[in-house]
């Protein structure tokens, strides 16, 4: 059964444009409340990032859930993985996140966690969509849901993050610049690294509702790179607006993306004695990671782009590590979802155990040049058009077994992502832009 509203990462769009409206979100809260209630579990937690529309949608969800007879625990601004954690520890029947992740402030979205802190199964999302088509019926007045605010939510999550590295871990020798993207980690992240002893230089910690992800964070690391070099810091950590992604900057100003961080964590886990035979990546995962993992005796399992598909494969194969090059890394032996702070902590722990700086720690993996071009599209996307198919085949023939081509529609934005990867940077760059032009012309014809 196809879903009308839910994408790969919940429901997302521009604020004020259907379905990201207060009327729809109120009905969504009611439908979710009806679908998620379970015997002995009658509380839903709600958290949000720092974008201005979060106030409006938090209130709408609260009203809808109350109308369905569900109690609400309000967390306030909280990283998405923190909401997943508190959903489990507060024994809620679900967690709801009001966030559009790395998107600008004028977008927002709603995504859900099940009571075990993982993404909702498709069947539950489909049930919510069925209920959205039914009239909203309020429960009896004596059965309305009540709301409470969890005043120590941030403190609980900070302690959990610190617990994911060995007891006694000290970051006292490290000077770290932490870019919180004016988002949900603005208080939590500096606290975690600071309480573990690091000298923390915070950036992006003055959210005003409009500046989330604005020229900062994991998608715009230029300012962090300059700050790391200016401060003479050991490294930089860049989180996105809702805190589920991370990239890092070494002391030389070089960026480490999710593929390189995943390699560092996987190698460290093996050296520490963890037993696993594969890591999960996506169709976008760099060939260099696949080659480096093979040298460690590990396979790379590729799945469709989207953290929910990484999670599905991890659970199906009983694996512990997976992620995307965007910096969405899942350490299932530490937590239940992608977590930027916890992933960064695993890298820092690997640094301490190895005695190496971040620049040297990434040695062992050489990234293949990979160029990604976004082609803006409107309407239906048909990538099987003759011109596109022939152009892709021609590039693949030229790259041979030393490169890859991938075309895919984004699950969160109105774009087609054109990716070309290969051994020679100039060749890859040329092929990517040529292919993007073909896609743009074919889809606009």
Catalytically annotated residues: 101
Q: Which residues of 284-314 are buried (b: 16+ CB within 10 A; e: fewer)?
A: bbbbbbbebbeeeebebbebebbbbbbbbbb
Q: How far is CA 178 from the centre of its chain?
A: 17
Q: Where are the beta strands (DSSP E) in 159-277?
A: 175-179, 199-203, 235-239, 246-250, 255-256
Distance CA 21, CA 248 (A): 35
* Paired sense of beta strands 299-303 and 278-282, if any: parallel
Which residues fall within 8 angstroms of residue 263, CB to CB, at 6 or more apart?
A: 289, 292, 293, 362, 364, 365
Strand, coil or helix: what is 42? coil
Residues with Cβ within 8 Å of 71's Cβ and at least 6 positions away in sequence, in order, are: 42, 43, 44, 65, 145, 146, 147, 148
Structure tokens at 238: 């860049």
Pairwise CA distance, residues 76 & 187, whole Å:
12
């Amino acid at each position: 059964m196809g879903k009308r509203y839910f994408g790969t990462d919940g429901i997302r769009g521009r604020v004020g444009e259907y379905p990201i409206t207060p009327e729809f979100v109120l009905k969504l809260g009611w439908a979710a409340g009806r679908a998620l209630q379970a015997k002995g579990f009658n509380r839903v937690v709600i958290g949000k990032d720092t974008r201005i529309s979060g106030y409006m949608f938090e209130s709408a969800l609260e009203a809808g859930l109350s109308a369905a007879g569900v109690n609400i625990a309000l967390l306030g601004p909280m990283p998405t993985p923190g909401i997943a954690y508190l959903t489990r520890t507060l024994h809620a029947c679900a967690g709801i996140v009001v966030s559009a992740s790395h998107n600008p402030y004028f977008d927002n979205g709603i995504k859900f966690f099940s009571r075990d802190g993982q993404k909702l199964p498709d069947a539950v999302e489909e049930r919510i969509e069925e209920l959205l088509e039914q009239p909203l019926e309020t429960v009896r007045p004596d059965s309305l849901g009540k709301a409470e605010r969890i005043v120590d939510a941030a403190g609980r999550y900070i302690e959990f993050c610190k617990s994911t590295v060995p007891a006694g871990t000290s970051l006292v020798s490290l000077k770290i610049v932490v870019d919180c993207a004016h988002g949900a980690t603005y208080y939590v992240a500096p606290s975690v690294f600071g309480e573990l002893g690091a000298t923390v230089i915070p950036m992006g910690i003055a959210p005003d509702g409009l500046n989330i992800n604005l020229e900062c964070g994991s998608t715009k690391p230029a300012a962090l790179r300059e700050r790391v070099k200016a401060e003479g810091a050991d490294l930089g950590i860049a989180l996105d607006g809702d805190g589920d992604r991370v990239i890092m900057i070494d002391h030389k100003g070089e960026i480490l993306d999710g593929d390189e961080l995943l390699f560092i964590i996987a190698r460290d886990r093996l050296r520490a004695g963890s037993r696993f035979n594969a890591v999960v990546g996506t169709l976008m995962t760099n060939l260099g990671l696949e080659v480096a993992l093979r040298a460690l005796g590990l396979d790379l399992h590729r799945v469709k782009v989207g953290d929910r598909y990484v999670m599905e494969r991890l659970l199906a194969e009983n694996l512990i590590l997976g992620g995307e090059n965007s910096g969405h890394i899942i350490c299932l032996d530490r937590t239940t979802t992608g977590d930027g702070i916890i992933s960064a902590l695993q890298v820092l722990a690997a640094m301490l155990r190895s005695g190496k700086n971040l620049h040297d720690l990434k040695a062992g993996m050489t990234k293949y040049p990979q160029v990604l071009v976004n082609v803006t599209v409107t309407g239906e996307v048909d990538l099987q058009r003759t011109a596109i198919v022939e152009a892709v085949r021609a590039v693949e023939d030229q790259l041979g077994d030393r490169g890859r081509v991938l075309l895919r529609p984004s699950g969160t934005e109105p774009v087609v992502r054109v990716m070309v990867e290969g051994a020679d940077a100039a060749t890859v760059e040329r092929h990517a832009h040529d292919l993007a032009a073909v896609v743009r012309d074919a889809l606009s014809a």
